[in-house]
C-alpha cells in the first residue's frame, strides 16, 4: 500500500465536502484502501509515503460527452444553431477522419489536452470510421487514460461520406467489441447511434440489439434543440417523446446509457430517464454556444436522474471540466432566477456531479471512499493563493480561476500519468 | 515613427473585422499614424521596424467595471444574491482597505493581473478610503496603465466602517481631483457614488455638483438585481425609474457616465441612456454568478446605447476581457433563444464592444485608425495553432481558448508595458 499525503477534498454526498487537512489516502492495486488523518490509522503497512506538502488532492475529472473528432473545430464557428452547424462545420470535418493519419495527428493532441486539464476518464465520440476509431482507442490506452469510445453510427441525413449501411456499422462495432472488451480494460467501446435524425429505424434497431447481445453501454444525444425535437417527432411519430423513441429500440437504459444535453427534457421523458437510470451528460457551454438553451439540472437531481458534465467539444469550446462546473452553476442560477423553487447548484453539488456522479458510469470512480479506483489530481495552487484562504476557498478558487498550470500530478487507476506524446 | 509588423486585426465598425495579413501599424507620439500593407506606404520615415513575425496584433482590452478592492474575493463566495452578498462578503473585505499597507499588497497584485490578461485600461472602484485610493492610482501610474479610479462614496445602508459624511466624501474627492486631474494623465479620478441604496439624497446631490464643477466623469451601478430595483423605488419614489433617480442628481450623462449591469434596463430608462449617452458596462459573468440575470445587449445596440465589457471582480470571477467577450456572446444567445428578433452578438460585435466601443470612454482608444492611441497586444498563438487556421479563426480561438500565456507583448499609449511588480 502507498500513502499519498496532502490536503484531501472529495464528496461522498452531494451536499458537503469531505475535507481532511494534511491527510492520507492509502492506495493498493489502484484502489483506495481508506482515507485518514494519520499515517498510523491504516491496518496495512505503508511501503511508501508520497508527500505533496500543502497541495490539494482531489478526485480527477470525468468528461461525459466529447467529440474527439471535432477537436480541430474547438473555439471556431460559433455562429450557427445545431442543425446547420452540423451540416456546415461538423460533418465536413468528421469526413476527414477517413484518413487514419489525420486522425492520429488530431486525436493525439486531443488526448494530450484531456490529460492537461486533469480529465482522466472520457466518454467520447469518434467518427463512423473503424480504423480512426481504433486509433483513438490506442491513443487512450497508450496514455493510460480511461475511456468509452464510440464508433459513430449514421445512415441518413448527414453527408454521404459519413453514411454507412446498418449491417456494415454493426460488423465494425462487433470487430471493436471483440478487440477491446476485456473486463478490466480502461478503454472500451460504446454503442453510438449519433442521434435519431441520422439513424434509420433499421440502424437504431440493430444498435439496440447489439447493445443487448454484448451488454454494451450506449451513448447518444437527446432533446438538445427545439428544431431537432420537432424533426424527431416527424421521424418517429409513434413515440411519446424523443427519449421514448430511443427506448423502443432498446437504447434507453436497457444497458448503461448516457444521453447528452437533455435541455428540453421534462414530463414523461424525465420520468422515463429516472426509471431507466439513464445518465444526463450536461454540457452547459455547448448549450450556450449552439443557442440550444439551459438544461434544468436541479430538476434532474430532484427527480433522481443521474448527471455528469461534458465539454462537448466543439459545440463546447472548453475542455476543462473545472470550467464546466462553473458554467453548470451559472446556468442553474439562470434557471433559479426564473423559478426560485429550483435552487441553484452549490459548489459541492457541482463537484459531486463532475466526480462521483459522473464517475459511476466507469464503475467505482470519482471519490476517495474505500474501494474506489484512485483517479486523482494533485493541485499546486500557490500561484492562486496570495492570502490566507481556507482549504475550501482554495478549491473554489482553483475551480473558478485555475487551469492546467495548477495541476501538478495526475493519477488514473492508481498510476501516475505522464504527459501523452503528440504525433507530428 | 515606429512601424509594428504583424497580422493586424481590429474593428472600425461593429459588423466586420479589418484584417491586414503581415501588415504595418505606424506609431508616433503614442498614436497610430496609419495602417498599411507595405512599409513604404507611409508618408513619414520609419525610424525602426519591429517585426512580430506571424503573431497577431490587436487592440488591447478595456475593463469598464471592476472592483479592485474585491480582488481577494475573486473566485470565492458565489452562493448569494446581490444584496446579502454585499453585506456578508463584500463590505467586510472593503473595510480592510482602511489599512493602506493591505491595500498596496492587494492592489499591486490586482494591477499585475490586469496587465497579465492584456487589459491596458480600466474603470475601477477602489473603496471609501482616500489613502488606499491614492495607492491604487499610484500603482496604475507606476505600471503605465490607463485608469479611471473611483473613491467610493457611501453614507447609508452599508456598514459603519465604510460610511462617510457627504462633506468629507466631497472634500476627499476634491483632493484627488486636484492631485490627479492633469489633462493628459493616464490615471484619473472618477466620481463614484456606489449606488442609490448606499447614498443619501445629500450625497447624491453633492456628487452630481462635484462632477459638474470639475467636469468629472461618473460611474455607478444600475438595474442589476430585481430586489435592488424594488428598494430603489422605495428610496426614490419621485423618480420614474432607477436611471431617472441618478439623472435628477446630475449623475446620468451630464458628464461622461458609465453604469454597470443594466440587466433590467428597458423602456424609459433605456431611452434616457441613449439620449444622455450613458455607457453600459456589461458584466455577463457577474450577472450569472450573483444570480442577477442576462442583460439585453442587442437591445442596447439597437437603441444606440454605448456598451463596454466589465469583469466586475468579485461578482465576476474572471479578469480576462477575452472571456467576457465569450460570455457576452453566450448570454446574447440565451436572449436570442427567447426572442429570435434579437440576434445574438457576432464575434466582430463582441470584439468591437470590448475594444473600440469601450475605448471611447478613454478618448481615442480601442482601434488602429489614424489618431488612436496605440494600445495593443501582440498575440503569439502558436500553442493554439495546431492546424491551418485562417487569421480570423486564429483570433476566434485566442478569444475562446487563449489566456495570458499567449499574450507576448503589451502596449499602452505607444509604450511597451513590462510586468508590474508586486508588493510582498
pTM beyond 0.90: yes
Q: Do A397 and B76 touch (CB under 8 A)?
A: yes
Give me the mean pLDDT over the A312-327 stretch: 98
pLDDT exceeds cutoff 90 at A81: no
CB B216 within 8 A of CB B255: yes
* Chain B CB within 8 Å of residue A393 CB: yes
pLDDT exceeds cutoff 90 at B237: yes
Residue written as grid cell 477517413: A98
Task: Extract the C-alpha cell encoding B93.
Answer: 473585505
A75: nearest CA partner in chain B: B397
Closest partner residue to A74 among B285, B347, B401, by Cβ? B401
In the three-class reduction of DSSP (H, G, I as helix; E, B as strand; rest coil), residue A386 is classed as: coil
| Beta strand spans in B15-100 (E) | 16-28, 31-36, 48-59, 61-67
Task: Extract the C-alpha cell encoding B341.
Answer: 428578433
Residues of chain B contacting residue A75, judged by C-beta atoms under 8 Å apart: 384, 396-397, 399-401
Stretch (H or E) spanning B206 = helix B201-214
Q: Do B344 and A109 touch (CB under 8 A)?
A: no
Residues of chain B contacting residue A76, judged by C-beta atoms under 8 Å apart: 389, 393, 396-397, 400
* Chain A CB within 8 Å of residue B116 CB: no
Give me the mean pLDDT over the B65-70 stretch: 98
CA atoms within 13 A on the CB side of B176: 31
* Chain A CB within 8 Å of residue B334 CB: yes
Chains A and B form CB pairs within 8 A to the count of 91
Minimal Cα–Cα distance from A60 to chain B, Å?
20
Give me the mean pLDDT over the A367-388 stretch: 97
At residue B183, the pLDDT reads 86
pLDDT band at A92 (very low <50, low <70, confident <90, very high): very high
Minimal Cα–Cα distance from A332 to chain B, Å?
9
* Chain A CB within 8 Å of residue B165 CB: no
* Chain A CB within 8 Å of residue B347 CB: yes
Indicate which of A15, A69, A74, A78 best probes the interface with B, i.e. most B CBs within 10 Å of its own CB: A78
B317: nearest CA partner in chain A: A400
* Chain A CB within 8 Å of residue B403 CB: yes
Q: Do B291 and A346 touch (CB under 8 A)?
A: no
Q: What is chain B's mean pLDDT, rounded?
A: 97
Residues of chain A contacting residue B109, judged by C-beta atoms under 8 Å apart: 386
Residues of chain B contacting residue A381, judged by C-beta atoms under 8 Å apart: none
Minimal Cα–Cα distance from B103 to chain A, Å?
13
pLDDT band at A181 (very low <50, low <70, confident <90, very high): confident
pLDDT band at A243 (very low <50, low <70, confident <90, very high): very high
Q: What is the pLDDT of residues B6-27, one digit of tens each?
A: 999 999 999 999 999 999 999 9
DSSP A107: H
Distance CA B123, CA B258 (A): 9
Residues of chain A contacting residue B331, judged by C-beta atoms under 8 Å apart: 288
Candidates A356, A352, A362, A332; CA nearest to A344 is A332
* Contact residues for B39 (Cβ-Cβ < 8 A; gap 6+): B3, B5, B24, B46, B49
All structural domains of chain A: 2-59+366-416 (2.30.40.10), 61-362 (3.20.20.140)
At residue B81, the pLDDT reads 86
Estimate to the nearest angstrom the gap between the alpha carbon of B377 and the chain centroid.
17
* Chain A CB within 8 Å of residue B393 CB: yes
Task: Extract the C-alpha cell encoding A204.
Answer: 437504431
Indicate which of A288, A338, A419 best probes the interface with B, i.e. most B CBs within 10 Å of its own CB: A288
* Chain B CB within 8 Å of residue A314 CB: no
DSSP secondary structure string for all residues of A238-293: TSSSHHHHHHHTT-SSSS-EEEEE-TT--HHHHHHHHHHTPEEEE-HHHHHHTT--
* Chain B CB within 8 Å of residue A230 CB: no
* Chain B CB within 8 Å of residue A333 CB: yes
At residue B289, the pLDDT reads 97
pLDDT band at B93 (very low <50, low <70, confident <90, very high): very high
pLDDT exceeds cutoff 90 at A47: yes
* Chain B CB within 8 Å of residue A248 CB: no
Q: Where are the alpha helices (DSSP H) in A339-373?
A: 347-352, 358-359
Residues of chain A contacting residue B288, judged by C-beta atoms under 8 Å apart: 330-331, 333-334
Distance CA B63, CA B362 (A): 11
**What is the number of residues in chain A?**
424
Q: Do A288 and B396 touch (CB under 8 A)?
A: no
Closest partner residue to A79 among B293, B317, B346, by Cβ? B346
Give me the mean pLDDT over the A151-168 stretch: 96
pLDDT band at B382 (very low <50, low <70, confident <90, very high): very high
Task: Extract the C-alpha cell encoding A122.
Answer: 472520457
CB B389 within 8 A of CB B55: no
At residue A364, the pLDDT reads 98
Give me the mean pLDDT over the A228-252 stretch: 97
Q: Do A330 and B396 touch (CB under 8 A)?
A: no
Indicate which of A290, A334, A339 best probes the interface with B, i.e. most B CBs within 10 Å of its own CB: A334
Q: What is the pLDDT of residues A379-398, one digit of tens each?
A: 999 999 989 999 999 999 99
* Chain A CB within 8 Å of residue B75 CB: yes
Candidates A182, A75, A189; CA nearest to A125 is A189
At residue A206, the pLDDT reads 98
Q: Do B403 and A401 touch (CB under 8 A)?
A: no
Give me the mean pLDDT over the A160-171 stretch: 97
Minimal Cα–Cα distance from B200 to chain A, Å?
29
Candidates A294, A320, A284, A302; CA nearest to A405 is A320
Pairing of strands A146-150, A119-125: parallel
Minimal Cα–Cα distance from B9 to chain A, Å?
16
B333: nearest CA partner in chain A: A291
Amino acid at each position: 500500500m502507498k500513502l499519498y499525503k496532502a490536503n484531501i477534498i472529495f464528496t461522498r454526498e452531494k451536499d458537503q465536502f469531505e475535507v481532511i487537512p494534511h491527510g492520507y489516502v492509502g492506495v493498493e492495486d489502484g484502489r483506495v484502501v481508506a482515507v485518514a488523518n494519520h499515517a498510523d490509522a491504516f491496518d496495512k503497512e505503508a511501503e511508501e509515503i508520497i508527500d505533496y506538502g500543502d497541495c490539494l488532492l482531489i478526485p480527477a475529472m470525468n468528461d461525459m460527452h466529447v467529440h474527439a473528432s471535432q477537436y480541430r473545430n474547438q473555439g471556431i464557428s460559433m455562429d450557427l444553431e445545431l442543425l446547420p452547424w452540423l451540416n456546415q462545420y461538423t460533418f465536413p470535418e468528421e469526413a476527414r477522419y477517413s484518413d487514419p493519419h489525420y486522425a492520429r495527428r488530431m486525436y493525439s493532441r486531443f488526448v494530450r489536452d484531456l490529460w492537461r486539464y486533469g480529465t482522466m476518464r472520457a466518454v467520447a465520440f469518434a467518427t463512423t470510421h473503424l480504423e480512426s476509431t481504433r486509433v483513438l482507442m490506442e491513443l487512450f490506452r497508450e496514455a493510460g487514460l480511461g475511456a468509452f469510445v464510440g464508433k459513430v453510427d449514421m445512415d441518413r441525413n448527414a453527408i454521404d461520406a459519413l453514411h454507412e449501411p446498418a449491417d456494415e456499422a454493426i460488423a465494425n462495432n462487433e470487430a471493436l467489441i471483440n478487440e477491446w472488451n476485456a473486463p478490466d480494460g480502461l478503454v472500451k467501446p460504446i454503442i453510438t447511434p449519433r442521434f435519431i435524425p441520422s439513424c434509420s429505424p433499421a440502424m437504431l434497431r440493430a444498435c439496440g440489439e447489439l447493445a443487448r447481445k454484448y451488454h454494451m453501454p450506449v451513448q447518444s444525444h437527446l432533446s438538445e434543440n427545439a428544431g431537432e425535437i420537432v424533426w424527431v417527432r416527424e421521424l418517429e411519430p409513434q413515440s411519446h417523446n424523443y427519449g421514448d423513441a430511443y427506448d423502443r429500440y432498446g437504447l434507453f437504459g436497457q444497458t448503461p446509457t448516457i444521453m447528452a444535453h437533455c435541455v428540453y427534457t421534462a414530463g414523461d421523458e424525465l420520468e422515463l430517464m429516472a426509471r431507466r437510470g439513464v445518465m444526463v451528460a450536461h454540457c452547459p457551454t455547448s448549450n450556450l454556444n449552439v443557442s440550444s438553451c439551459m438544461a434544468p439540472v436541479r430538476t434532474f437531481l430532484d427527480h433522481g436522474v443521474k448527471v455528469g458534465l461534458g465539454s462537448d467539444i466543439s459545440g463546447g469550446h472548453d475542455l476543462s471540466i473545472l470550467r464546466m462546473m462553473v458554467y453548470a452553476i451559472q446556468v442553474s442560477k439562470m434557471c433559479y432566477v426564473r423559478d426560485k423553487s429550483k435552487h441553484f447548484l452549490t459548489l459541492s453539488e457541482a463537484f459531486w456531479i463532475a466526480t462521483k456522479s459522473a464517475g459511476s458510469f466507469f464503475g467505482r470512480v470519482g471519490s476517495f471512499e474505500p474501494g474506489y479506483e484512485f483517479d486523482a489530481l494533485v493541485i499546486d495552487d500557490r500561484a492562486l493563493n496570495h492570502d490566507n484562504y481556507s482549504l475550501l476557498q482554495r478549491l473554489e478558487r482553483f475551480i473558478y480561476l485555475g487551469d492546467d498550470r495548477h495541476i501538478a500530478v495526475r493519477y488514473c487507476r492508481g498510476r501516475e500519468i505522464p504527459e501523452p506524446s503528440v504525433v507530428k
